[in-house]
Structure 1
Amino acid sequence: MSDPILTLKGVHTDIAQYHILQGVDLEVPRGQVTMLLGRNGVGKTTTLRTIIGHWQAKSGEIAFDGAAITDIPTPARARAGIGFVPEDMGIFTDLTVEENMILAAASGPLDKARLDWIFAAFPPLKTFWRSEAGNLSGGQKQMLSIARAMAEERKLYLIDEPTKGLAPAIVSTMAGALRDLKRQGASVLLVEQNFSVAKALGDTAAVMDDGRVVWTGAMAELAASAELQERLMGLSMEAH
């Protein structure tokens, strides 16, 4: 794997008295979609939040686009070109869709061409542009959460379970938007439990267990092997 955009080496993260990440080694190839997979509770969300800096690594190294970011604050990581979509969406429900997007574009006014692309990817956001975000449906709130990360062009997007609990039609819309990001040359690290989405979007995969990455390889290799899925995650994801 040459020229990864993101590298984690021996990353440990504690949350309160719990030792969650126990030496994570991970590389995210530039311009590809990397799926971060594994059972619930193995450290996937903690890995994303450690990368963006919401939780500080206790030890180890994180490098982004050739520069060390282990000890810099979250805003500096965002300015360096990392976008983050948390599982809990992270939108401001008492603000309008427009106001949410304006706040997300930290470096200046919303770019019209980029906004037009976001509206094409997520048409409901244009329809409800002046509406309070709290009045959106669950799927529409998730669209807004992802659109906020897309408000400015990023080099790397960290996305935590974007399709969880959503209807198939909205899942398809989400997948289309993520494919567009990839076509634009962005890199994506995506936590996803929907195997059909993981198989359709992923170029590479990293499987976690007990706070470590225990397997990395081509997503196609993992998708083709029920035995590998069973061994790594204790289930055949084809059934999900």
Structure 2
Amino acid sequence: MSDAILTLAGVHTDIAQYHILHGVDLMVPRGGVTMLLGRNGVGKTTTLRTIMGLWKARAGRVTFDGHDITAAPVPARARAGIGYVPEDMGVFTDLTVEENMVLAAASGPLDPARRDRIFTAFPPLKTFWKSEAGNLSGGQKQMLSIARAMAEDRKLYLIDEPTKGLAPAIVSTMAGALRELKAQGATILMVEQNFAVARALGDHAAVMDDGRIVWTGTMAELAGDATLQERLMGLSMEAH
């Protein structure tokens, strides 16, 4: 595996009385898309939230871009270059699309060139730029959520199920925008249940089960081996 921008070593995370992560070991290579896959409830979202610092690791180490961030607060992780797109979108519904984007550009005014690239990736955001985000459809809110993470250059994007519940046309738009972000050299760690999207976008894959990483390799290797998919996830990508 190439130079790792993110490493988790023996990470344990508890939520209330529940022990969710049971010693996660994960390396995310710099550049490209790493897919974090597995059945529902195995700890994928908890892994992303632990990396972002929203949940605190009880044990183990999280290293980002050569620095130990295990005890770092969320704002420090964001300033270090980690962008997070949660499953619940995380937009401010009472603010306009523009105001959501301005808040996301923490280092200063939103660069016009970057704004235009976002408009190209997500045309509805240009149409509804002055509208309250609460008036957007579910797919448009998801576009805004990803666009907020793109408001500044990030060294790493954590994206949790960006196509969940979206119509096929919106999924296609979302996948195209993520493909363009990847082409710009971004590093992405993404949880995705749509295996067609995972196969199309992923370079690397890590499969979780019961709070642990149980397999790592290339996305092509996993996508090309139905027996391996059945063994790791209990299903075949071809069926989804």
TM-score, with structure 1 as normaliser: 0.99
Which amino acid in 2 is paired with 1:85?
V
Aligned to 2:28: 28
- 1:215 is aligned to 215
Offset of residue 16 of structure 1: 0.2
- Residue identity (%): 83
Instruction: Report how far residue 2 of structure 1 moved.
Output: 2.7
The answer to whether residue 139 in structure 2 is matched with residue 144 in structure 1 is: no
Deviations 1:123-182 (A, max 9, x none): 000000000000000100000000000011101000000000111111111111111111
Q: What are structure 1's unaligned runs of at least 5 residues?
A: none
Name the amino acid aligned to 2:29.
P
- 1:67-106 equivalent positions in 2, closer than 5 A: 67-106=67-106
**Partner SS state of residue 101, structure 1:** helix
Q: Deviations over 1:21-75 (max 9, x none)?
A: 0000000010110000000000000000000000000010101111111000000
2-structure distance, mates of 1:186, 1:64: 15
Match of 1:2 in 2: 2
Give the SS at the match of 2:87: coil
Does residue 111 (structure 1) correspond to residue 111 (structure 2)? The answer is: yes
4+ residue runs over 6 A deviation: none
Distance in 1 separating the partners of 2:216 and 2:208: 9
Corresponding residue for residue 193 of structure 2: 193
Cα distance in 1 between the residues matched to 2:184 and 2:68: 25
Deviation of the 1:237 alpha carbon: 2.1
Task: Please give the secondary structure, in 2, of the residue aligned with 1:20.
Answer: strand
Q: Secondary structure at the match of 2:108?
A: coil
Per-residue CA distance 1:199-218 (angstroms, 9 max, x = gap) = 00000000000000000001
SS in 2 for 1:51: helix
2:162 is matched with: 162
- Give distance in 1, aligned partners of 2:238 and 2:28: 24
1: distance between equivalents of 2:62 and 2:192?
Answer: 22
Per-residue Cα deviation, 1:100-144 (whole angstroms, up to 9, x for no partner): 000101110001110000000000000000000000001000000
* Rounded Cα–Cα distance in structure 1 between residues aligned with 2:184 and 2:32: 11
Query: What's the C-alpha RMSD, in Å, of the aligned pairs?
Result: 0.6
State whether structure 2 residue 177 is matched by structure 1 residue 177.
yes
2: distance between equivalents of 1:140 and 1:2?
A: 35
